[in-house]
A and B are shown apart, each in its own frame.
Chain A
Amino acid sequence: MKKKILAALLAAAMTVTMLAGCGVPGGGKEEGESSESNEKVFRYSTRTEPTSLDPTKSNSIPDNEIQHAITESLVRNTGGEVYPGVAETWEVSEDGLTYTFHLNPDAKWSDGQQIKAQDFVYSWQRLMNPKTAAPYAFIGEYIKNGYQVEKGQMDPSELGVVAQDDTTLVVTLEHPTAYFLSMIGAQAQFAPLRQDIVEKYGKDFAADAEKNIYSGPYKLTSSKNQKWVFEPNEEYWDADSIKLDRVELSYVQTQDTALAMYEDGELDYVELPSAAVPTYEGKDNVFRNGNVDYFYFNCSNQYLSNKNLRLALNYALNRNDYNDLVNNGISAPSASLAFSGLKGVEKTYGEESTLQSYPLDGDEAKAKEYLNTALSELGLSNPSDISLSITTTDAETSKKQAEVCQEMWTKTLGINVTIQQVTYNEVLSRQQSGDYEIAWGGWGSDYDDPYSYLELFKSGSSYNYSRYKNDQVDQLLEASQQEVDAKARMDMLHQAEQIIIDDGAFLPQAERVIHYLLDDDMKDVTFFYCSVNIDWVHADVEK
């Protein structure tokens, strides 16, 4: 009998060896990956797969991060500061509506041709052209006639962007936009495009690394097998400032896997899963990615239209405990709307804020007070007469968010709370159709300004999923769009935020804090809270 087991084991061993004999698709490691060589390589991973290599159709932060390296816009936004890009200099008119850019004649595409003003005109018109169906086309509504072009009511040629000659570009805006330069320096949709290349490949443009042309500091050499390889673009106008020899971006969905790869030396940068943060205390660094977590209240709901009930829910949430329970204590509990790290007039928006909001530890007594007022206003006698359901996504953290709120509200207020877990897509469609009571939500801004967050509560905005309406807020936000004086404008925004908070229009929870590990040799990697979270364009390896 033993012999037979032995034989069986041998057979198994042979199969394994046989298996080991044949190759693997994609074929082995590329050469030059050894750490001995003096190549300066930066390897990192993304949790969300980039959706498109076409800058116009860029739709997510990973998309933007790739484009930030392979395209050069008029200006370059590095960590919130605006530097010259293809444009050497620019002038802004008094009313803040007209921008004149003077392009650098030395700025070249990766095939050696000059980057001309017409390339921007073509790209921006393509972005707004309804036939392109760019998912982020709304970002171009700042440009004069942008909205009409997007709706198909005007021809793309009427868009407020004109090439006076090869090196002069004039952009007209709908309304003064303080953050315009900062935005076009980081959002991929404003990158230049070469008409001949785009038309040559048609629908297959940017399908892979070969079917594209690059204006940025790096060019993509491969996009195969969920791995993106970048190498410096020799034709880049500022090629001397580029230090890295190669950058590799891998798609790794599971955070623990990415962490293990980092420990194995296969990655140079990793975001820590929340459970791992205590283990790496002292070795990790942090940045905030500008994402705020909150729940929407559907203000057209029979119960939630009551302001006192919304305030009761807000006061009943102990945000410090919430943060410990949901995020393992690594995020920053928050009771405000706009991300605190945004640029203010002189300091950050959060530092300049005078917002009076709910205490982070909650306030049970006050919560009950508001609840009682709400009950009498609603004509109910018992807290348990109120039933609310939380619609949340299928992600583990979103589930926990809902469970913690459910537990705190039922315990403190005695109301009934149920949870509905549906797919992410369904949560979004319910928000848009208004078919929810309380819904999971989160926001990250595309530009460095609180308006992006406040717009969520402006009636008439397509993002007003709460169906909240306050005329004062609407007026303040409208006025802020026309105000040229920075200080006065910020004051309006602070004021609007205070009203929204006083109305308990939503349930702020936390600002996300990303804990990360970065290889000690890596220098000058920049982190930012809009559009591009990690910016390694000017990074260097020092041994």
Chain B
Amino acid sequence: MAELKKESFVIRGKDAVRMESISRPSLSFWSDAWRRLRKNKSAFIGLCIVVLYALLAIFAPMFSQYTQSQMDVDARHAMFSAEHWLGCDSTGRDMWVRIWMGARVSLSIGLISAVLNMCVGAVVGGLCGFYGGKLDMIVMRLVDVLYGIPSLIITILVMMVLGKGITPLIVAMCVVGWIGTCRFVRGEVYRLKEQDFVLAAKVLGIPDIKIILRHIIPNILGLLVTNLCMAIPGAIFQEAFLSYIGLGIVPPDCSWGVICKEGIQFLRYYPHEILVPAFFVCTTMLALNLLGNGLRDAVDPKLRGTE
């Protein structure tokens, strides 16, 4: 049996820095969310589709020999072919180009107005819900008034003042668009602020703003994201409705709503003219919903660290 000699040992000392370090990288809220989103297969597919469509919307029209307004009497209602990948509409305009030109308008309108609406709605709704009382009463009544004005009047007036085009359209949609989110967030905040963890935070003397940011927002983020994902198609189709009654964007520009509207009259005779845009709208929505579901799960503080 060998003897343990003192020389066999070396004093390594204490490494104050390393002792404190954690072997696994620390995860911030957002990087954890991103990690979990990536692991969620369907959400990732959703993300890929959205990115693909965005890229196509930017690049596809550049590499086509056609423009969105170029008409061809002989190609009216043409079916899919090598020249026209997605066929042509009733005036012989190439659908492939129109779909991606339309995607530019529709996706940006959908995204911008949905995000704008969500931000405004969440702030106003959050404040009303949290502070309640007179503020809530007054703001909510104003909201009722605003919601009661026929949106068509608002749209027509906004367009009269600002002219037609994407910006006025977004403005017109945002004037009342935030109300849904606002009511919804307010309701949620009402519900949450009576719960124990908020009460605890209050008792501990944490300032209101911190309570809202730290404790309430993360708890409603899941519902907000779901709401947002549904608001995007909502916005795209509100634009479609405005196009349906002729108040959408300026021709010859088009959007998915406009293409749908042009195609619907040919449903019985040239179904591809409506099915093509409907397909892209549906797949975009599917992608956004899958992504939304994944995001919801990813940002949910209660699910953090699970899976």
A contacts B directly (C-beta below 8 A): yes
CB proximity of B231 to chain A, nearest CB, Å: 25
**Is A133 close to B, CB under 8 A?**
no
Once A275-B269, A325-B91 are accepted as A-B contacts, the answer to whether A421 and B69 lie under 8 Å apart by CB is no
Query: Contact between B251 and A419 (Cβ–Cβ < 8 Å)?
Result: yes
CB-defined contacts of B69 to chain A, threshold 8 Å? 403, 406-407
**Is B36 close to A, CB under 8 A?**
no
Query: Contact between A421 and B261 (Cβ–Cβ < 8 Å)?
Result: no
**Is B262 close to A, CB under 8 A?**
yes
CB-defined contacts of B76 to chain A, threshold 8 Å? 324-325, 328
Query: Contact between A325 and B71 (Cβ–Cβ < 8 Å)?
Result: yes
| Residues A256-300 near B (CB distance < 8 A) | 256, 273, 275-276, 278-279
Q: Which residue of B lies closest to A324 (CB)?
A: B73
CB-defined contacts of A321 to chain B, threshold 8 Å? 73
Interface string of A322-338 (1 = CB under 8 A from B): 00111010000000000
Interface string of B255-271 (1 = CB under 8 A from A): 00000011001111110
Q: Which residue of A lies closest to B254 (CB)?
A: A403
CB-defined contacts of B267 to chain A, threshold 8 Å? 256
CB-defined contacts of B195 to chain A, threshold 8 Å? none
Q: Which residue of B lies closest to A398 (CB)?
A: B246
Q: Which residue of B lies closest to A274 (CB)?
A: B265
A12 to B265 alpha-carbon distance, docked (Å) = 33
Query: Contact between B246 and A395 (Cβ–Cβ < 8 Å)?
Result: yes
| Residues B51-102 near A (CB distance < 8 A) | 69-71, 73, 76, 90-92
CB-defined contacts of A418 to chain B, threshold 8 Å? 250
**Is A396 close to B, CB under 8 A?**
yes
Query: Contact between A421 and B71 (Cβ–Cβ < 8 Å)?
Result: no
CB-defined contacts of A393 to chain B, threshold 8 Å? 246
CB proximity of B121 to chain A, nearest CB, Å: 29
Query: Contact between B164 and A275 (Cβ–Cβ < 8 Å)?
Result: no
Query: Contact between A423 and B251 (Cβ–Cβ < 8 Å)?
Result: no
CB proximity of B245 to chain A, nearest CB, Å: 6
CB-defined contacts of B91 to chain A, threshold 8 Å? 325-326, 400, 403-404
**Is B133 close to A, CB under 8 A?**
no
Interface string of A402-413 (1 = CB under 8 A from B): 111011000000
With a 10 A CB-CB cut-off, give which of B90, B250, B261, B270 has the most chain A CB atoms: B90
CB-defined contacts of B268 to chain A, threshold 8 Å? 256, 275-276, 279
**Is B252 close to A, CB under 8 A?**
yes
Query: Contact between A328 and B90 (Cβ–Cβ < 8 Å)?
Result: yes
CB-defined contacts of B164 to chain A, threshold 8 Å? 420-421
Query: Contact between B269 and A279 (Cβ–Cβ < 8 Å)?
Result: yes
CB-defined contacts of A396 to chain B, threshold 8 Å? 246, 261-262, 265
| Residues B219-271 near A (CB distance < 8 A) | 245-247, 250-252, 261-262, 265-270
**Is B139 close to A, CB under 8 A?**
no
Query: Contact between B251 and A402 (Cβ–Cβ < 8 Å)?
Result: yes
Query: Contact between A394 and B246 (Cβ–Cβ < 8 Å)?
Result: yes
**Is B116 close to A, CB under 8 A?**
no
A99 to B292 alpha-carbon distance, docked (Å) = 78
**Is B115 close to A, CB under 8 A?**
no
CB-defined contacts of B270 to chain A, threshold 8 Å? 275
**Is B156 close to A, CB under 8 A?**
yes
**Is A399 close to B, CB under 8 A?**
yes
A423 to B269 alpha-carbon distance, docked (Å) = 29
A394 to B250 alpha-carbon distance, docked (Å) = 11
Query: Contact between A404 and B71 (Cβ–Cβ < 8 Å)?
Result: yes
| Residues B8-66 near A (CB distance < 8 A) | none
Query: Contact between B251 and A399 (Cβ–Cβ < 8 Å)?
Result: yes
CB proximity of B242 to chain A, nearest CB, Å: 10
CB-defined contacts of B73 to chain A, threshold 8 Å? 321, 324-325
A402 to B156 alpha-carbon distance, docked (Å) = 21
From B92, B245, B269, A325 is in contact (CB under 8 Å) with B92
From A256, A400, A420, B250 is in contact (CB under 8 Å) with A420
CB-defined contacts of A420 to chain B, threshold 8 Å? 164, 250
CB proximity of B72 to chain A, nearest CB, Å: 9
CB proximity of A436 to chain B, nearest CB, Å: 15
Query: Contact between A275 and B252 (Cβ–Cβ < 8 Å)?
Result: no
CB-defined contacts of B246 to chain A, threshold 8 Å? 393-396, 399, 421, 423
A533 to B42 alpha-carbon distance, docked (Å) = 58
CB proximity of A23 to chain B, nearest CB, Å: 31
A402 to B91 alpha-carbon distance, docked (Å) = 12
CB proximity of B150 to chain A, nearest CB, Å: 14
CB-defined contacts of A325 to chain B, threshold 8 Å? 71, 73, 76, 90-92
CB-defined contacts of B252 to chain A, threshold 8 Å? 403, 406-407, 419
CB proximity of A98 to chain B, nearest CB, Å: 49
CB-defined contacts of A278 to chain B, threshold 8 Å? 269
With a 10 A CB-CB cut-off, give which of B69, B76, B91, B245 has the most chain A CB atoms: B91
| Residues B256-299 near A (CB distance < 8 A) | 261-262, 265-270
CB proximity of A3 to chain B, nearest CB, Å: 26
A305 to B199 alpha-carbon distance, docked (Å) = 75
Q: Which residue of B lies closest to A406 (CB)?
A: B252
A27 to B205 alpha-carbon distance, docked (Å) = 65
A403 to B266 alpha-carbon distance, docked (Å) = 19
CB-defined contacts of A403 to chain B, threshold 8 Å? 69, 71, 91, 251-252
Query: Contact between A421 and B269 (Cβ–Cβ < 8 Å)?
Result: no
Once A403-B91, A404-B91 are accepted as A-B contacts, the answer to whether A423 and B265 lie under 8 Å apart by CB is no
Query: Contact between A275 and B265 (Cβ–Cβ < 8 Å)?
Result: yes
CB-defined contacts of A421 to chain B, threshold 8 Å? 164, 246-247, 250-251
Query: Contact between A256 and B265 (Cβ–Cβ < 8 Å)?
Result: yes
CB proximity of B87 to chain A, nearest CB, Å: 15
With a 10 A CB-CB cut-off, give which of B76, B251, B268 has the most chain A CB atoms: B251
CB-defined contacts of A275 to chain B, threshold 8 Å? 90, 265-266, 268-270
| Residues A218-258 near B (CB distance < 8 A) | 256
CB proximity of B265 to chain A, nearest CB, Å: 6
Query: Contact between A407 and B156 (Cβ–Cβ < 8 Å)?
Result: no
Q: Which residue of B lies closest to A421 (CB)?
A: B246
CB proximity of A150 to chain B, nearest CB, Å: 32
A96 to B198 alpha-carbon distance, docked (Å) = 93
A33 to B112 alpha-carbon distance, docked (Å) = 54
A207 to B104 alpha-carbon distance, docked (Å) = 50
Q: Which residue of B lies closest to A279 (CB)?
A: B269
Query: Contact between A394 and B269 (Cβ–Cβ < 8 Å)?
Result: no
CB proximity of A160 to chain B, nearest CB, Å: 44
CB proximity of A307 to chain B, nearest CB, Å: 28
CB-defined contacts of A326 to chain B, threshold 8 Å? 91
Query: Contact between B90 and A407 (Cβ–Cβ < 8 Å)?
Result: no
A227 to B262 alpha-carbon distance, docked (Å) = 29
Query: Contact between A394 and B247 (Cβ–Cβ < 8 Å)?
Result: yes
Q: Which residue of A lies closest to B252 (CB)?
A: A403
Query: Contact between B265 and A273 (Cβ–Cβ < 8 Å)?
Result: yes
CB-defined contacts of B92 to chain A, threshold 8 Å? 325
Once A275-B269, A325-B71, A400-B91 are accepted as A-B contacts, the answer to whether A423 and B261 lie under 8 Å apart by CB is no
List A residues at the B interface (Cβ < 8 Å). Answer: 256, 273, 275-276, 278-279, 321, 324-326, 328, 393-396, 399-400, 402-404, 406-407, 418-421, 423
A-B contact list, 9 entries, CB within 8 Å: A275-B268, A321-B73, A394-B246, A396-B262, A403-B71, A404-B71, A419-B251, A420-B250, A421-B247
Known: A419-B252, A423-B246. 5 other contacts (CB 8 A): A256-B267, A325-B73, A394-B245, A400-B90, A403-B251
Q: Which 6 A-B pairs have the closest CB atoms?
A: A394-B246, A325-B91, A419-B251, A321-B73, A275-B266, A275-B269
